Structure 1
Amino acid sequence: MDAPMEGDKIQIHSYKHNGLIHRVWEETTILKGTKSLVIGGNDRTIVTESDGRTWITREPAICYFHAKYWFNIIGMIREDGIYYYCNISSPFIWDNEALKYIDYDLDIKVFPDMTYILLDEDEYERHGKEMNYPEAIDGILRNNVDKLIRWVRGRKGPFAPDFIDTWYERYLTYRR
């Protein structure tokens, strides 16, 4: 697996466990790309839902994907601070077409004061039955929810002070 190159503008494709497309982000600028880690930035990018509906993101965001962890993290830069939206998902793959992952419904929203809430547990239960999530996957996902919460509490990775600001400054160099 190659990796997207710094400065490349790529699409991000989210799928569901059944293989169907869930959501596509039209353009994200790669700030760091390795086989195991991709950090990207976007602002006011078009997002297309599986039903064809489109919308535009409202604020700049720094996206963090890892090939080892079953989650990805989006740091959204707003006037009153950084909000994080964390998708419990498969590790990413890069296939020279797009960065791709499977979205497993559970999400964690983290507020600027680092409080957080777990979202979409009902959707996870429903989709788990509909799409027959294997028991092994359920265990992996629940362990990664715990790991992600430890990262939030410990200010690790994208939750570290200045992480988002540092990468946003790099992103701005590509917008000039």
Structure 2
Amino acid sequence: MADPKIGSPMQIKSYKHNGQLHRTWQETTILKATSTRIIGANDRTRVLESDGRSWLTREPAICFFYTEHWFNVISMLRADGIHYYCNISSPFVFEDGAVKYIDYDLDVKVFPDMTYTLLDEDEYELHSQQMNYPQEIDRVLWDSVEELTHMIRQRKGPFSHEKVEQLYELFLTYPI
């Protein structure tokens, strides 16, 4: 199992708690990698859904994955500013050239003015019952929502517009 190499492509694979593959982003360029964090970028990458459908992303995105947090953050650079989509998820593992994580349904959508909204609580409740999420996981996930919203309010980590813009400039230096 090779370590992530800066400048090389990787896939992003999202799974559900029951082990089923949920979604795959075909190609993301690794911009930074440490033992606890991988930052990648993509633009107009193909996304494959578990039901066989596929689509292309519409804008450049900077993706932050962590081993020490139960969430990941996708920063999307749009004409009206940077939008963030945060997945409450397991910490990632990197194997077979892919970042892999379990998507736990809850999402936080952040707008360019840094207001945010929690999404998919109904989906979380349904899947929690269907897949029998343990109480310990439930507690960790809700604590992660709190940790994430604190980072958003503080504009820390991936929620610094300046940092995201710098990473996008770095991405532009890589050949397409």
TM normalised by structure 2 equals 0.97
Kindly indicate whether the alpha-carbon contact (under 8 Å) linking 1:4 and 1:96 is maintained by their aligned counterparts in 2. no
Q: Who is 1:7 aligned against? A: 7
For residue 112 of structure 1, what is the amino acid of its counterpart? P
Instruction: For 1:2 and 1:80, locate their aligned partners in 2 and report how far apart those are by CA, in whole Å.
Output: 38
The 8 Å contact of residues 88 and 141 in structure 1, kept in 2 or not, is answered as: yes
> Residue in 1 aligned with 2:119?
119
2:14 touches 2:24 (CA, 8 Å); kept in 1?
yes
Which residue does the alignment assign to 1:68? 68
- How far the C-alpha of 1:35 sits from its partner, in A, is 1.6
Q: Report SS of the residue matched to 1:102.
A: strand
- Consecutive unaligned residues of structure 2, counting only runs of 5 or more, are none
SS state at 1:72 partner: strand
Query: Which runs of 5 or more structure 1 residues have no equivalent in the other structure?
Result: none
Alignment check: 8 A CA contact 2:82 2:161 kept? no
1:74-113 equivalences in 2 (<5 Å):
74-113=74-113
Q: Offset of 1:163 from its aligned partner?
A: 1.2
Corresponding residue number in structure 2 for 1:40: 40
Contact (CA 8 Å) 1:105, 1:121: kept in 2 or not? yes
1:18 and 2:18 matched? yes
How far has the Cα of 1:95 moved from its partner?
1.1
Q: How far 1:50 moved relative to its partner?
A: 0.4
Judge conservation of contact 2:4–2:97 (CA < 8 Å) in 1.
no
When structure 1 is superposed on structure 2, of 93-102 and 82-91 the one drifting more is: 93-102
**One-letter amino acid of the structure 2 residue matched with residue 54 of structure 1:** S
Distance in 2 (alpha carbons) for counterparts of 1:16 and 1:25: 15
Work out the CA distance in 2 between the residues paired with 1:96 and 1:51: 22
RMSD: 1.1
Percent same amino acid among aligned pairs? 60
Q: Alpha-carbon deviation of 1:33? A: 1.2
Q: Is the 8 A contact 1:47 1:57 kept in 2?
A: yes
Q: Normalization by structure 1: what TM-score?
A: 0.97
**Number of the residue aligned with 2:129:** 129
Give 1:2 deviation, angstroms: 5.5
Contact kept? 1:2, 1:35, Cα under 8 Å: no
Matched AA of 2:29? T
| Count of residue pairs brought into register by the alignment | 176
